[in-house]
Structure 1
Amino acid sequence: MTQTDSLTLEVADLDVDVLTGIYSEETGKPQPLRITVRARYDVADRYDPETPLDASKNYMDLKHAASEGLPKGVHFKLIEAVADHICETLFVQDARVQAVTVKIVKLAIAEGNEQIGITLHRERPDG
């Protein structure tokens, strides 16, 4: 019997101010977004106490892609475009990343505790 492992790194509930929106009251000023990023990638054969970091993916790469990795001064009309940029950044950084899921909640439009936003899941294209 063969073993099929899957390893997913996650950075959850990262609050980031991003230039986004399509309405006049949204443009020109950053909006607070709550971003969660999950990256599934190739698993090492085994993880033991001495396994080096390069056998995994540094979770700080996920945090960076969802914060400092977003281009400064660029206005994203849709939060879907923000999620797309995060996915592509992680795919370019590391060929071992097989899939990325990005959840974005628009904090400024919530009237209570509801979470209004999107989740984009993208698998690495074949090839």
Structure 2
Amino acid sequence: MPEARPVNDSLILEVANVETDVLTGIYSEETGRPQPLRISISAALKPQDRYTPDCPLTASKNYMDLKHAATEGLPQGVHFQLIESVADHICETLFLQDKRIERVTVKIVKLAISERGEEIGMTLTRHRRD
């Protein structure tokens, strides 16, 4: 009889290229008006042992929660000096929503400073700390 091996599955939920306007920036031409950002999110969720055809949504996470964290979940009227702060807020929002989320990666591209289609921005990966 074969020996049982530990399963090391992972489940990554993704929402890519969500475009939204956010109050962000440190330069005078950026402050006081929303800046267009392109946000992509990957969230590592502790997976179930199996996903059968009749699994309910509660076996995973609604992908729209990720999109919401990058759009309506950002506080209105708050100016984030750094896009790193925007990414931090998105990570913390998702960790608060679901204890099964183990890691979140947020990539943010500042669309207003792109001149020839390059992607200028940052990526933050945050692991659950508790």
* Distance (whole Å) between structure 2 residues aligned to residue 3 and residue 33 of structure 1: 38
TM-score for both structures, normalised by structure 1: 0.98
Aligned residues: 126
Q: Could you tell me how far apart the structure 2 residues matched to 1:17 and 1:84 are? A: 17
1:28 aligns with 2:32: yes
Output the CA distance in 2 between the equivalents of 1:6 and 1:49: 19
* 1:16 counterpart = 2:20: yes
Partner residue in 1 for 2:119: 115
Aligned to 2:101: 97
Letter in 1 for 2:63: Y
Instruction: Compute the TM-score of the two structures, normalised by the length of structure 2.
Output: 0.96
Give the % identical residues.
68
* Structure 1 residue runs without a partner (length 5+): none
How far apart are the structure 2 equivalents of 1:122 and 1:27?
27
Superposition misfits of 4+ residues, deviation over 4 angstroms? none
Mapping of 1:46-65 within 5 angstroms? 46-65=50-69
Aligned residue for 1:62, secondary structure, equals: helix
The CA RMSD measured in Å over matched residues stands at 0.5
Aligned to 1:42: 46
Question: Which runs of 5 or more residues in structure 2 are unaligned?
Answer: none
Which residues in structure 2 correspond to 1:69-108 (within 5 Å)?
69-108=73-112
What letter matches 1:61 in structure 2? D
CA distance in 2, matches of 1:42, 1:3: 12
Instruction: Report the secondary structure of 1:95's partner residue.
Output: coil
Q: Displacement, 1:113?
A: 1.3
Tell me by how many angstroms 1:41 deviates. Answer: 1.0
Structure with higher Rg: it is 2
